[in-house]
Amino acid sequence: MSLKYFGTDGVRGRVGEHPITADFMLKLGRAAGVVLARGSKRSVVIGKDTRISGYMFESALEAGLAAAGANVLLLGPMPTPAVAYLTRTLYTCAGIVISASHNPFEDNGIKFFSADGEKLPPETEQAIEEELERPFVTVDSAHMGKAQRVDDAAGRYIEFCKGTMPFGTLLGGMRIALDCANGATYKVAPLVFRELGARVHLIGNEPDGLNINHHCGSTHPAAMQEKVINCEAELGIALDGDGDRVIMADRNGEIVDGDELLYIIATARQSEDKLEGGVVGTIMSNFGLELALKKRNIPFLRTPVGDRHIHRALIEKGWKLGGEPSGHLLSLDRTNTGDGIVSALQVLEIMVRSGKGLAELKQGMRKFPQTMINVPVSATGQQRLSGSKKINEVVRDIEAELNGRGRVILRPSGTEPLIRVMLEGDDRNQVERLAKHLADTVREELQG
């Protein structure tokens, strides 16, 4: 199914460049209202992160939805997983998030959730795109939608997050360095951890519309690592701009990424006979995770990159746990979408119950050295990747040199104009050398 506007995670791009413009969002709001607001459910929730363009797009979407006869419930700045949760619990027909996740403030995007709080299926996205091609028609004035603010949205979500912990589990004064990425979690995340008894040392909690993800958050965890050392914290937690990812650090400031967090959660659940099957990762998951789980007789399955693919595989297998190295983790027994706060709470629960720190909990997994290089290319360059004879030849040469002791992953980004070049192997110097050679080849072949 070929879609014109929807990518791997909604509609995303640079603000002011089609389709991330106010006039397009007006039309998108109307098209979404026509497709999604049918039957007795005619309300749509809208949440956003803290980037400055969110004000403009929130108003445009609200107007488009009202023109289609849909009512709008405005949440204000709210994490993506909170929007998914409130879409379900407010019994609305759909949820919309205005966010470009971990991208800089110059970007923005629109994500949709179904009435069940799950990503829309491709068929529904296609229906919205088809409606976009039709004339903009406003319903009769008597049937126009209305808009209202949901004043207790933050409180509802905070209580939900705390409720994912076993009743009575408290953090007992645990000292935590928390980086909210100047994003959508800046209000709710500190309250969740403090109300559970932690002593929270905050950074990235002063958004100004321009500083979301800027040298902070899960994609830039150095500030969080430094905070762990300076305040002598027991661990650090770095969320991303929209709150669906988490990266952590141990008391020494060493990063614990999504693969290692998956290992910690999976092995803890296995020891309590609560794993319910195996673990789903992606083609980007570290080979060390696969080996460590295999030693514990835990099944492991890889999917293409993206939480949509992980979610589908979990449902098909009847499993509960999956995720990506970026820290986008899914625990379907706790919630039905990636949630950075909920994922962090699961790890904290394990620490409290076991009395062990993160460094000790991850000891059973040894990560293989990985090198990732992002090569900027145009959309045309992305399309030319698979057909490049030179690039395919270099990949074959690299795989021959690795001789089964590593992997090559070469793919277009679904959210940015990039080719992601990733190599993995047991020899760091070799991996870095080969990754640079492949990235240089991609640059020469596809940037022209």
Q: Tell me, yes or no, whether 390 and 348 share the same domain.
A: no
| Token pair recorded at residue 245 | 């990812």
83 phi and psi angles, rounded to 5 deg:
-65, -40
| Token pair recorded at residue 152 | 């207790």
Q: Which of 309, 333, 361 is the last residue of a domain?
A: 361
Residue 280 to residue 301: CA distance in whole angstroms: 5
Q: Indicate whether 1 belongs to any domain.
A: no
- The pLDDT, as a whole number, for residue 43 is 97
425 phi and psi angles, rounded to 5 deg:
-175, 180
Tell me which amino acid residue 437 is. H
CA dihedral sign, ordered 195, 196, 200, 202: negative
Q: Tell me, yes or no, whether 233 and 298 share the same domain.
A: yes
Q: Tell me, yes or no, whether 142 and 161 share the same domain.
A: no
Q: Which of 327, 361, 395 is the last residue of a domain?
A: 361
3-state SS assignment for residue 124: helix
Tell me which amino acid residue 302 is. R
Q: Indicate whether 2 belongs to any domain.
A: no
Contact between 344 and 351 (Cβ < 8 Å): no
- Render 380-430 in DSSP notation, one character per residue: HHHHHSTT-HHHHHHHHHHHHHHTTSEEEEEEE-SSSSEEEEEEEES-HHH
The Cα-based distances of 82 to 49, 85, 156, 282, 413 in angstroms read: 11, 5, 9, 24, 26
Report the 10 Å Cβ neighbour count for 227: 23
Q: For the domain that residue 114 is a member of, what is the CATH number?
A: 3.40.120.10
Q: Indicate whether 379 belongs to any domain.
A: yes
Q: For the domain that residue 442 is a member of, what is the CATH number?
A: 3.30.310.50
Q: Indicate whether 328 belongs to any domain.
A: yes
Nearest to 224 by CA among 199, 245, 243, 250: 250
- The pLDDT, as a whole number, for residue 448 is 64
Q: Tell me, yes or no, whether 425 and 338 share the same domain.
A: no
130 phi and psi angles, rounded to 5 deg:
-65, -40
Q: Indicate whether 4 belongs to any domain.
A: no
Q: How many domains does the chain have?
A: 3
Q: Tell me, yes or no, whether 107 and 186 share the same domain.
A: no
- The pLDDT, as a whole number, for residue 8 is 79
- The pLDDT, as a whole number, for residue 269 is 97
Query: Which residue is it, tokens 């014109």?
Result: 4
CA dihedral sign, ordered 160, 163, 164, 165: positive
Q: Indicate whether 3 belongs to any domain.
A: no
Q: Indicate whether 346 belongs to any domain.
A: yes
Q: Tell me, yes or no, whether 328 and 378 share the same domain.
A: no
| Token pair recorded at residue 195 | 């109300």
Q: Tell me, yes or no, whether 103 and 182 share the same domain.
A: no
369 CB-side CA count, 13 A: 13
| Token pair recorded at residue 209 | 């519309």
Report the 10 Å Cβ neighbour count for 246: 33
Q: Tell me, yes or no, whether 144 and 208 share the same domain.
A: no
Q: Tell me, yes or no, whether 299 and 397 share the same domain.
A: no
Residues of the chain short of pLDDT 50, as ranges, are none
Q: Indicate whether 245 belongs to any domain.
A: yes
Q: What is the pTM of this model?
A: 0.90
Please give the residue range of the domain that contains residue 134. 11-151
Indicate which residue of 101, 218, 285, 326 is catalytic: 101
Nearest to 295 by CA among 270, 326, 261: 270
Q: Tell me, yes or no, whether 251 and 203 share the same domain.
A: yes
3-state SS assignment for residue 74: strand
Q: Tell me, yes or no, whether 239 and 345 share the same domain.
A: yes
Q: Tell me, yes or no, whether 211 and 346 share the same domain.
A: yes
Q: Which of 361, 381, 404 is the last residue of a domain?
A: 361
Active site (annotated) includes residue 101: yes
3-state SS assignment for residue 24: helix
Residue 215 to residue 217: CA distance in whole angstroms: 7
16 CB-side CA count, 13 A: 4
Edge-to-edge order in the sheet of strand 147-149: 11-14, 107-113, 94-98, 43-48, 71-77, 147-149
Residue 394 to residue 414: CA distance in whole angstroms: 23
